[in-house]
Structure 1
Amino acid sequence: MRVIFLQDVPRVGKRHDVKDVNDGYAMNFLLPRKLAEVANPKNLAELERRKKEIVVKKEIQAELLEKNLEELKDKVVRIKAKADEKGHLFSGIHKKEIAVALHEEHRVEINEEFIDLEKPLKTLGEFEISVKVGNKKSFFKLVVEAE
């Protein structure tokens, strides 16, 4: 049976793939769990429409990211966190918290996956954070202060 995968299924297929699988596997596992749908002409046309939509969204996102990277230069982001008297944070500052702070303070929306941070920040102070999208790179200053 030919199916369209709605979600990634390990060792079988990825989302939006069209593949032939055993009838029993499709009927008893994939279809009831909404992991795939039957690849009929109507569903294949819908899949093509969804793929075109995704391409358009990615192009728009790429343009917005380039604009956001330009806005990032020379920005200072401040995050307050609980710390002990030696300046060590009780909880590290992760990429997600940095992305949220960027959005709250400067209305610059950058996905956390583009923030170049090897490990969470665990101390108070100033840090130079880089954001890399494709081959473009931008920097901003992050100041971690005690609450």
Structure 2
Amino acid sequence: MKIVLLEDVKKVGKKGDIVEVSDGYGRNYLIARKLGKEATNAAINDVKLKKATEARKKEDELNEAKELGLKIKASSITLAIKAGEGGKTFGSVSTKEIAKAVSDQLGIEVDKKKMVLDEPIKSLGTHIIKIKLHPKVTTELSVKVEGE
């Protein structure tokens, strides 16, 4: 019996898979517990349409991330931090402050959790930070830190 899985089933398959199972297992377990439904032509076509829609959506997200990455890489932001004599700073610049500056200066919303700082920025000057916009897209942002 062919079944279209509606949920992930251990040792059988993942959601959306079309699997061949015994008649009893299919009727008495998978269909009864709404883990799957019989693989009719309509059900198979529905699965194919959903997979195609998901693929298109993922492709669109990737393209948007690439465009945003190019826009971010081409720009830079400026932050002001209190500094003493000789350029020694009081405190450091965090990803939260950088995310707020990107939002204010560039008009782009970037999650602070997606920013990768090896160590907090504690010196004046220009620093390059990495931003992971998508699992396949990483970009760099130039942050200029000035003393107040």
TM-score where L is the length of structure 2: 0.56
What CA RMSD, in Å, does the superposition of the two structures yield over aligned residues? 3.9
| 1:139 CA displacement | 2.6
Distance (whole Å) between structure 1 residues aligned to residue 136 and residue 39 of structure 2: 38
* 1:26 matched residue in structure 2: 26
User: Residues 41 and 107 from structure 1, CA distance in 2 versus in 1: closer, same or farther, beyond 3 angstroms?
Assistant: same
State the Cα deviation string for residues 96-134 of structure 1 (Å, max 9, x = none).
Answer: x98xx68x9454467x7xx476xxx9x9x4493431646
Q: How far, CA to CA, are the matches of 1:28 and 1:116 in structure 2?
A: 49
Q: Within 5 Å, which residues of 2 pair with 1:55-70? A: 55-70=55-70
Max radius of gyration: which structure? 2
Does the 8 Å CA contact 1:128/1:140 hold for their aligned counterparts? yes
Check whether the contact 1:72–1:108 (CA below 8 A) recurs between aligned residues. no
Contact 1:128 1:141 in 2 (8 A): yes
Shift of residue 137, structure 1, vs aligned partner: 2.5
* 1:92 corresponding residue in structure 2: none
Instruction: Give how far 1:24 is off.
Output: 2.2
CA distance in 2, matches of 1:109, 1:46: 35
Moved more, 49-58 or 36-45: 49-58
1:51 deviation in Å? 1.7
Q: Which TM-score applies when normalising by structure 1?
A: 0.56
Question: Which residue in 2 is equivalent to 1:145?
Answer: none
In the superposition, relative to structure 1, how do residues 71 and 10 fare at CA in structure 2: closer, same or farther (>3 Å)? farther
In structure 2, relative to structure 1, the CA distance for the partners of 1:135 and 1:45 (3 Å cut) is: closer
CA apart distance, 1:47: 1.3
Which residue in 2 is equivalent to 1:139? 140
1:7-86 to structure 2, matched below 5 A, reads 7-73=7-73
Contact 2:7 2:14 in 1 (8 A): yes
Q: How does 1:87-106 map to 2 (within 5 A)?
A: 105=103, 106=107
